[in-house]
Chains A and B, each alone.
Chain A
Amino acid sequence: MESLLSLPWFDFTISGVVIGSIYALMAVGLALIFGVANLINFAHGSVFTVGSYIGWTCAVALGLPLWATVLVVAAAGGIVGALIELLAIRPLNHQSRIAPLLATIGVGLILDQIVHIIFGANPRALPVSLPNLRFSIGSGTIGAIDITIFVTGVISALALYLFLFHSKLGMAVRATAQDGDAARQMGVGINAINMTVFGIAGALGAIAGLLVGIYYNSIDPNASFEIMLKGMVAIVIGGMSNVPGAIGGGLILGLIESYGIALFGASYRDLFAFAVLLLMLLLRPNGLFARAHAREAEPMTGTFVTRAKPVRIPAWALVAGAVLIALVPALGQPYLTQVMTNALLYALAAMSLTLVAGTLGLISIGHAALLAVGAYASALLTMAGLPVALGLVLAAAITAVLGAALTYPAFRLRGHYVAIGTLAIGEIVALVILNWTSLTHGSMGLYGIPPLELFGIPLFSTNASYWFVLALVIVFALLQMRLLSSHLGRTWRAIREDTIAAETYGVASNYYKGLAFGFAGFVAGISGAVSAHQFSYINYDTFNLLTSVLILTIVILGGLGNVTGAIVAAIIVAGLPEVFRTLAEYRMLFYGMALLLLIRFRPQGLMGSD
């Protein structure tokens, strides 16, 4: 233990508090929004990124002093936040509660892409001249940067406190967070309150972006999601809408990370955050600071299934469609065929997700993890010498079992918590793949995965692999439709509509959720496995969060629960940007807009939810 004691614990504590106060800044905004709008703002990380780039523009490009930079960043962040509320959230007032959450995912993609377009994809430095002070305390030191960040955090918290407790609007915000009706009686419109809260959150998030940029002397256009997740973990620790709790949660998370890195190394940093998240959701879903709750939390219906009948396509039209799709290689354009193969692999993944998100009603934002499990399983098995056909089947089976087992912790969660929980599970899978080097070769990834073949028949030519994937799509679509027309389809839908009523009539809902994830895992596993053999190289990032969001977009476009819809939408979403190459550059913008417009104007998707 000698060596443990000799670590510079003081320095780790300081850096934990500094990073923690940044998480706290993020978390306060998320908590305010959750309290008032009952929504997890997935665009919050993008506001952070926008803030860091506006900070760079002020401090570096324009050479403004630090205090002026902070003010401009806060104002700009506030405006961005308010615009998000006005343009993306407010129009969704009458939709299901998961709709605004999905909309914020779309906004996040759009903001990130705009930053990419303006500033490029590479990180840049954010040098800010601060007095070169260092205070030595005992064995450790504190620098001017640490103090700046901490002081900015404290000033922001004080300003927020003054606003919330000493202004009419602030009191209305607090009242709304506690009880929507009470606020209405105070005579402040709910729209004004929502906009205020998004504005404040935006300002705080943007300041956080600036501070992190200064702290590391580097800003990164790809940082959005990670920082947003950290803020989310902090509010889960603090109790979702609890503002002081969010500050405490941020500091706790900062310290956990800092000490965790000291003990286990930096590559585990995010694993701590997600492990904490999952533990909190399971053990203390109301946060660390909640008193024993007297009243059951109002169940949030997480489904997005509208009351509209799905479009019924006659069987002959389906057959005709399948034949047409099968004839794509006859066009003699190998590139198009490859694009279509890829789209069909997405179709498999989307069929899998539409079963759990649509039929069962558990909106998962971590579905790419299932693809990754399937891909790694088949790659590793076949690289160890198994024939590809066997590898595919075993990989699918492994993904089925793991899919049900890994998501099991999320089964007792409801509404937004399902989204957070599945997201965390997905990220944990990616991090385990990254860190389990002896099995997965870590960040190096797996090279030389054997190409597709079945029992010695090679399938790696463009056309052969296309037909193979198409056959898989057709077979699994038929199987899934058959399941949907059985007692299982009925039972899954009943769980989606009202889990408690279903339980009351003898449906063991966790078991049936497990069955759905098992079947969905099998299909997703096949999709991932085939992709691995197609690509011949995969790493932990091949199936990432963007993949998950893309699959979810496809599922919503197709109509939640709708199998044919998932296939049609996959061809549109995964195929279009490739066919129109100009779109490909702006892919994220395209996906983000598609998600946003869909939720706004056609929540039932193209083919209607089923």
Chain B
Amino acid sequence: MATEGALLSATGITRRFGGITAVDGVDLHVREGEFLSVIGPNGAGKTTLFNLISGQDRMDAGRVTLEGRDITNLTPHRIAENGIARTFQHGRVFGNLTVMDNVLIGCHTRLRAARSRVPVLAPVIEILRALIRPAPVRAEDAAMRAEARDIIATFGDRLTPRIDQPTYSLSYANRRRVEIARALALHPRILILDEPTAGMNESETAEMQQIIGDLKAQGRTILLIEHKLNMVMQLSDRIMAMDNGKVIAEGTPAQVRNDPRVIEAYLGHSSIGGTAPAAKSLTEGAQ
């Protein structure tokens, strides 16, 4: 598809680990408000691709632009400042921080108390602001907390009653929810979700799908990695299928699910993550 008009454009992304090429010349373009899913068997390179886009890893070749600005291989915090928020496949909440503090870290890029532009003295000013807390700092803090509470309330009564508990005490599913809340707090231009329902049971998955659907309805730009293909098919505007580091198919859900290369890739692999046997749901969906 055309590069023009894309919010995020990645071209020729390549990452090698020793002998293997985990991501091999992948192109990816996302329009504003689009919901793009990336599917593929285990080890296809999906997570690595997202790591490269959001700065956790450095690519060997390729280029990423956000609204035409080059963000290739920027440090993760710079990429976050550019408005890309991502969740992690294996969950990376701050265990000893409360739910509230986890979400407030998500607000960090917007915190004016942390954004002194005065050269040289910026560190001193930041410490003094934290010590003295003049009215604007207090007001900002209160506003952020109110907003964090609203975001946390997105998840119904799953998180709100536990808002002051450290996240290590939460269930696995709740920690995944905290991660998404933290990502939303960044006000992302692009939200990247890496297997948000991994390890969740059926009803939890359905609940999460509902929430992600609501996020989509708000007009957000979302990139999703997911093995649960029913969910992918229902949510996505467009799907990209990967195998062995390469894009093997791309198109609407209907196009991708009928693509013989996709079915082949899924059937050819014995191990597929997630609970549902993906190849089965893929072929069922095709009927």
Query: A482 to B17, Cβ gap below 8 A?
Result: no
- On chain B, the residues within 8 Å of A519 by CB distance are 127
Asked if A486 lies at the interface with its beta carbon under 8 angstroms from chain B, I say yes
Name the residue of chain B whose CB is nearest to the CB of A293.
B18
Q: At the interface with chain B, which of A148-156, A263-271, A489-497?
A: A489-497
Chain B: number of interface residues, binned into ranges: 35 or more
- On chain B, the residues within 8 Å of A307 by CB distance are 95-96, 166, 168
A486 to B145 Cα, complex, angstroms: 12
A353 to B97 Cα, complex, angstroms: 21
A494 to B105 Cα, complex, angstroms: 8
Also in contact, A479 and B131, with CB within 8 A (given A493-B97, A504-B55): yes
Give residues of chain A (498-513) contacting chain B, Cβ–Cβ below 8 Å.
498, 500-509, 511
- On chain A, the residues within 8 Å of B246 by CB distance are none
- On chain B, the residues within 8 Å of A94 by CB distance are none
Asked if A166 lies at the interface with its beta carbon under 8 angstroms from chain B, I say no
Asked if B111 lies at the interface with its beta carbon under 8 angstroms from chain A, I say yes
Asked if B43 lies at the interface with its beta carbon under 8 angstroms from chain A, I say no
* Chain A contacts to B: CB under 8 angstroms: 294-295, 305, 307, 309, 479, 482-483, 486-488, 490-491, 493-494, 496-498, 500-509, 511, 514-515, 518-519
Query: B123 to A498, Cβ gap below 8 A?
Result: no
Also in contact, A497 and B77, with CB within 8 A (given A294-B17, A487-B130, A515-B127): no
- On chain A, the residues within 8 Å of B190 by CB distance are none
Asked if B33 lies at the interface with its beta carbon under 8 angstroms from chain A, I say no
What sequence of 0s and 1s flags, for each residue 130-146 of chain B, a beta carbon within 8 Å of any chain A beta carbon? 11010000000100000
A505 to B78 Cα, complex, angstroms: 9
Query: B114 to A487, Cβ gap below 8 A?
Result: yes
B97 in complex: contacting residue of A294, A488, A494, A509, CB < 8 Å: A494
A497 in complex: contacting residue of B81, B94, B108, CB < 8 Å: B94
Query: B130 to A486, Cβ gap below 8 A?
Result: yes
Query: A305 to B96, Cβ gap below 8 A?
Result: yes
Query: B131 to A505, Cβ gap below 8 A?
Result: no
Give residues of chain B (78-127) contacting chain A, Cβ–Cβ below 8 Å.
80-81, 85-86, 88, 92-97, 101, 104-106, 108-109, 111, 113-114, 123, 126-127
A488 to B129 Cα, complex, angstroms: 10
Query: A502 to B123, Cβ gap below 8 A?
Result: no
A483 to B109 Cα, complex, angstroms: 19
Query: A490 to B96, Cβ gap below 8 A?
Result: no
Q: How far is the CB of A401 from chain B (nearest CB, A)?
A: 10
Query: A487 to B104, Cβ gap below 8 A?
Result: yes
The listed residue with most B CB atoms (<10 A of its CB), out of A483, A498, A506, A509, is A506
- On chain A, the residues within 8 Å of B55 by CB distance are 503-504
A519 to B131 Cα, complex, angstroms: 12
Name the residue of chain A whose CB is nearest to the CB of B100.
A490
A491 to B96 Cα, complex, angstroms: 12
A295 to B57 Cα, complex, angstroms: 11
Query: A503 to B127, Cβ gap below 8 A?
Result: no
A505 to B86 Cα, complex, angstroms: 8
Q: How far is the CB of B184 from chain A (nearest CB, A)?
A: 11
* Chain B contacts to A: CB under 8 angstroms: 17-19, 54-56, 75-77, 80-81, 85-86, 88, 92-97, 101, 104-106, 108-109, 111, 113-114, 123, 126-127, 130-131, 133, 141, 166, 168, 182, 186
- On chain A, the residues within 8 Å of B168 by CB distance are 307
- On chain A, the residues within 8 Å of B18 by CB distance are 294-295
A506 in complex: contacting residue of B101, B109, B131, CB < 8 Å: B109
B77 in complex: contacting residue of A294, A503, A515, A518, CB < 8 Å: A503
Query: A505 to B133, Cβ gap below 8 A?
Result: no
- On chain A, the residues within 8 Å of B108 by CB distance are 487, 491, 505-507
Query: A505 to B109, Cβ gap below 8 A?
Result: yes
Also in contact, A491 and B105, with CB within 8 A (given A295-B18, A483-B131, A497-B97): yes
A69 to B101 Cα, complex, angstroms: 62
- On chain B, the residues within 8 Å of A491 by CB distance are 105, 108, 114
The listed residue with most B CB atoms (<10 A of its CB), out of A487, A494, A500, A507, is A487
13 more contacts with CB within 8 A, not counting A486-B130, A488-B127, A494-B94, are: A294-B18, A487-B111, A487-B130, A490-B101, A490-B105, A491-B108, A493-B96, A504-B54, A504-B85, A505-B109, A505-B182, A506-B81, A509-B77
A511 to B166 Cα, complex, angstroms: 25
- On chain B, the residues within 8 Å of A511 by CB distance are 123
- On chain A, the residues within 8 Å of B109 by CB distance are 505-506
Name the residue of chain A whose CB is nearest to the CB of B111.
A487
Query: A490 to B97, Cβ gap below 8 A?
Result: yes
Q: How far is the CB of B73 from chain A (nearest CB, A)?
A: 14
- On chain B, the residues within 8 Å of A514 by CB distance are 123
- On chain B, the residues within 8 Å of A509 by CB distance are 77
A502 to B92 Cα, complex, angstroms: 9
Ordered by A's residue number, 25 sampled pairs between the chains whose C-beta atoms are within 8 Å are A294-B17, A486-B131, A487-B113, A487-B130, A487-B141, A488-B127, A490-B97, A493-B101, A494-B101, A501-B94, A502-B94, A503-B77, A504-B80, A504-B85, A504-B86, A505-B108, A505-B182, A505-B186, A506-B77, A506-B81, A508-B75, A515-B123, A515-B126, A515-B127, A519-B127
Name the residue of chain A whose CB is nearest to the CB of B109.
A506
A509 to B75 Cα, complex, angstroms: 11
Also in contact, A503 and B75, with CB within 8 A (given A295-B18, A307-B166, A487-B111): yes
Q: How far is the CB of B171 from chain A (nearest CB, A)?
A: 15
Also in contact, A505 and B96, with CB within 8 A (given A482-B131, A491-B105): no
A229 to B76 Cα, complex, angstroms: 35
Name the residue of chain B whose CB is nearest to the CB of A509.
B77
Q: How far is the CB of B97 from chain A (nearest CB, A)?
A: 6
- On chain B, the residues within 8 Å of A508 by CB distance are 75, 77
Query: B130 to A483, Cβ gap below 8 A?
Result: yes
Name the residue of chain A whose CB is nearest to the CB of B17.
A294
A397 to B215 Cα, complex, angstroms: 49
Q: How far is the CB of B57 from chain A (nearest CB, A)?
A: 8
A514 to B126 Cα, complex, angstroms: 12
Q: How far is the CB of A409 from chain B (nearest CB, A)?
A: 18
Q: How far is the CB of B138 from chain A (nearest CB, A)?
A: 11
A38 to B92 Cα, complex, angstroms: 24
